[in-house]
Structure 1
Amino acid sequence: MNTTPAHTHPAMLAPEAVRLAFAPQGRLCASINAGNAVLARRDPHGPGGVSVDLARAFAAELGAELDTIVFDGAAKSVQALREERADIGFFAIDPARSEGIRFTPPYVLIEGSYLVRDGDARVSGDEVDRAGTHVVVAQGSAYDLFLTRELRHATLVRTATSQVVVDTMLADGHPVAAGVRQQLEQDAARLGGVRLLPGSFMVIRQAMGCPQSKGDAAAAYLSDFVERMKATGFVREALKRNGIEGASVAP
């Protein structure tokens, strides 16, 4: 577990009832998914990224110190929140994750895209869902959950983390990889010989969440916090500060 001081944020202090719900001992624990390159990263001095910036700002409103638990994939990060090992988390909204978790409105929108080899004949995502096509995805990711529901003919091949999706696709001879566009772009630049198909198969709605047990007032306050962070430009500035391109602030 990493411990970081809460960054001062020029906003209201949370009501006492909300503070007691999230940080009764004066410490707020955030579940961070470093498997999503848009939201978080591992730095030498602890985790960084847009979700960490938001966690620090929320801890500051609570007048609490921030602790972080960092995971390499969304499924583990979600499970930590569901098991109440963390007070808040940062995940894509998906019906399969709703049990035991209350989600805020989204703060960032990210594209889910397909990647193929340079010589592949496919020119659009519409050509992926074909019998005999194997699509590599990170297990438990938002796009895994979505494609599990949506694909009718193609077969999903699941990896432990998003960072090894394209490597697995190439090493095992699969034709398609699916993931967050920014991660796929990084992998394409690193490995070569692959290309992204134009467009996206889904828009991933990234939100904050808290355990259901925090109660209605706490969940409502967290949702209000997200809306204020969008309205004040905090999310937009966090994306810029962290060098994130291709993701947009949710309306």
Structure 2
Amino acid sequence: MSGTGLGDLERQQFAPHGKMRIGIAFGKSISGVWTMPDPETGEPVGITVDLGAELARWLGLPFEYVKLASSGEIIETANQDRWDVAFTPVDADRKKVVDFTTDYYLGDSTYLVHADSPFRSVKDVDLEGVRVLGVENTATIRSARRTLMNTTAEGLNSLEDAIERFRRRDADALALGRESLMGIARSLPDTRILDDHFHATGTALAMAKGKAEALELATQFIEEAKRDGLIEKIVLSHGLSASSVAPSGSRS
């Protein structure tokens, strides 16, 4: 992809402190939004790491990553001058806080359950007394709570805590995006992922409100990156399916 020129206003909106600060969800798996540490260097690895770097190159800006505990924390800090661009799943609540580009990734959320669990579908999980865990302030846990009629989902502050409690069998089901669960399941062999889902949405680049000019450029970048095959290349490089790349113009 060829780069683009920035005017003074766009430069100020993308990098008000000189570097573009890229907010990333830093955890223990890779998905359309989650990143994880490189086992040797500890540096973040994932789709949003690569996509953020490509955006900075396209804009001709220096950049740095801001590691946050979840997409929920990304949204919580949107107006605290912690980051300039970030990547999160889209939902109606988040649209009240930030503005989004078009989607770059489509995904669904479901449950990870123990291998000996009787649950075969998301409806089976919705029983009184079933213990469901997720990450607080994420689109996934909000959707789980909306769809669970007979039990409730407990949200924890970090993905690591949720995984550990599930591993200790202090929960019957772990609610998360499917791609994240696929990575987690590889380290938890006595588990399985339910085939159906309770939530599906797109993931997009987010910016604080009031940056219309920069948002327009960021949307242009996302659409060019889909059309030129860059996003597909990044997604495949992390072992995820090219079918998850959002189509041209997709908005959630």
* TM-score past 0.5 threshold: yes
The answer for the alignment partner of 1:130 in structure 2 is: 127
Alignment of 1:32 with 2:24, yes or no, is yes
In structure 2, relative to structure 1, the CA distance for the partners of 1:194 and 1:12 (3 Å cut) is: same
For the Cα contact (< 8 Å) 1:162–1:179, is it kept in 2?
A: no
Superposed CA RMSD in Å reads 2.2
Letter in 2 for 1:242: H
The answer for the alignment partner of 2:3 in structure 1 is: 11
Alpha-carbon distance between aligned partners in 1 of 2:245 and 2:129, rounded to the nearest angstrom: 37
Letter in 2 for 1:34: F
TM-superposed CA distance for 1:202, in Å, is 1.7
Alignment of 1:178 with 2:175, yes or no, is yes
* Structure 2 unmatched ranges of 5 or more: 248-252
Alpha-carbon distance between aligned partners in 2 of 1:49 and 1:119, rounded to the nearest angstrom: 31
Letter in 2 for 1:200: H
Q: Note the 1:93-108 alignment, pairs <5 A.
A: 93-108=90-105
In structure 2, relative to structure 1, the CA distance for the partners of 1:185 and 1:63 (3 Å cut) is: closer
**Secondary structure of the corresponding residue to residue 37 of structure 1:** coil
Alignment of 1:59 with 2:59, yes or no, is no
Letter in 1 for 2:106: L
In structure 2, relative to structure 1, the CA distance for the partners of 1:60 and 1:187 (3 Å cut) is: closer
The answer for the alignment partner of 2:250 in structure 1 is: none
For the Cα contact (< 8 Å) 1:90–1:208, is it kept in 2?
A: yes
The answer for the alignment partner of 1:4 in structure 2 is: none
**Secondary structure of the corresponding residue to residue 78 of structure 2:** helix
TM-superposed CA distance for 1:143, in Å, is 0.6
Alpha-carbon distance between aligned partners in 2 of 1:135 and 1:18, rounded to the nearest angstrom: 43
* Structure 1 unmatched ranges of 5 or more: 1-8
Alpha-carbon distance between aligned partners in 1 of 2:238 and 2:193, rounded to the nearest angstrom: 23
Residues 224-233 or 237-246, more deviating: 237-246
In structure 2, relative to structure 1, the CA distance for the partners of 1:223 and 1:69 (3 Å cut) is: same
TM-superposed CA distance for 1:170, in Å, is 4.0
The answer for the alignment partner of 1:229 in structure 2 is: 225
The answer for the alignment partner of 1:5 in structure 2 is: none
TM-superposed CA distance for 1:129, in Å, is 1.7
Letter in 2 for 1:88: V
**Secondary structure of the corresponding residue to residue 197 of structure 2:** coil
Alpha-carbon distance between aligned partners in 2 of 1:108 and 1:127, rounded to the nearest angstrom: 28
Q: TM-score, normalised by structure 1?
A: 0.86
The answer for the alignment partner of 1:160 in structure 2 is: 157
Letter in 2 for 1:79: E
The answer for the alignment partner of 2:245 in structure 1 is: 249
For the Cα contact (< 8 Å) 2:3–2:59, is it kept in 1?
A: no
Q: Note the 1:196-235 alignment, pairs <5 A.
A: 196-214=193-211, 216-235=212-231
TM-superposed CA distance for 1:167, in Å, is 2.8
Deviation digits for residues 42-97 of structure 1 (CA, Å, limit 9, x no counterpart): 23263232112221122123221001111222222222323222110111101222
Instruction: State the percentage of identical aligned residues.
Output: 24
Alignment of 1:87 with 2:80, yes or no, is no
Alpha-carbon distance between aligned partners in 2 of 1:179 and 1:247, rounded to the nearest angstrom: 19
TM-superposed CA distance for 1:176, in Å, is 1.5
2:13 to 15, 18, 21: 21
TM-superposed CA distance for 1:15, in Å, is 4.1
TM-superposed CA distance for 1:198, in Å, is 1.2
1:42 to 14, 37, 45: 37
For the Cα contact (< 8 Å) 2:232–2:242, is it kept in 1?
A: no
**Secondary structure of the corresponding residue to residue 210 of structure 2:** helix
